Chain A
Amino acid sequence: MKTSLDNPVKAALAGRLLEMADDELILAHRDSEWTGHAPILEEDIAFANIAQDEMGHALIWYEIRRSLTGDDPDRLVFFREPSEFRNVQMVELPKGDWAFSMVRQWMFDTWEWLHLEALEKSRFTPIADAAKKIRKEETYHLRHTGAWIHRLGRGTDESNRRMQAALDQLWPYGGQITWPPADYQLLVDQSLMPGLSQLGARWKEKIQSDLVKANLQLPGSVPVSFSRDQHSQYLTALIEELQQVAQLEAEARW
Chain B
Amino acid sequence: MSCLSESSVWEALEDVKDPEIPVLSIVELGVVRTVSVNGDKALVEITPTFSACPAYQVMVLSVDAKLRELGARQVEVRTILSPPWTTDWLSDEAREKLRQFGLAVPARHGGKLDAAIDAGAAVCPYCGSSNTRQTNSFGCTACRSIAFCEDCRQPFEQLKPV
Contact = CB atoms under 8 A, between A and B. Distances in A.
Interface of A: 42, 45-46, 48-50, 52-57, 59-60, 63, 125-126, 129-130, 132-134, 136-137, 139-140, 143-144
A162 B93 CA distance: 50
A48 B136 CA distance: 13
Contact of A60 (B51, B83, B142): B51
Contact of B84 (A53, A57, A132): A132
Give the size range of B's interface with the partner.
20 to 34
Contact of B50 (A46, A53, A144): A53
A125 B146 CA distance: 35
Nearest to A47: B138
B141 to A, nearest CB: 8
A137 B145 CA distance: 13
Contact of B137 (A46, A48, A56, A59): A46
Given A42-B135, A50-B138, A55 B52 contact: yes
Interface string B130-162: 000001111110100010000000000000101
A45 B138 contact: yes
Interface of chain B: mostly helix, strand, loop or mixed: loop
A38 B117 CA distance: 24
A60 B160 CA distance: 21
Contacts of B85: 133
B52 A133 contact: no
Nearest to B113: A139
B84 A49 contact: no
A187 B79 CA distance: 25
- Which 10 residue pairs spanning A and B have beta carbons closest together? A56-B52, A56-B51, A129-B82, A49-B138, A133-B84, A46-B138, A52-B52, A133-B81, A129-B81, A42-B136
A139 B117 CA distance: 10
Contacts of A49: 138-139, 142
A45 to B, nearest CB: 5
Nearest to B84: A133
Contacts of B48: 56
Contacts of A140: 117, 137-138, 160
Nearest to B162: A136
Contact of B82 (A54, A56, A59, A133): A133
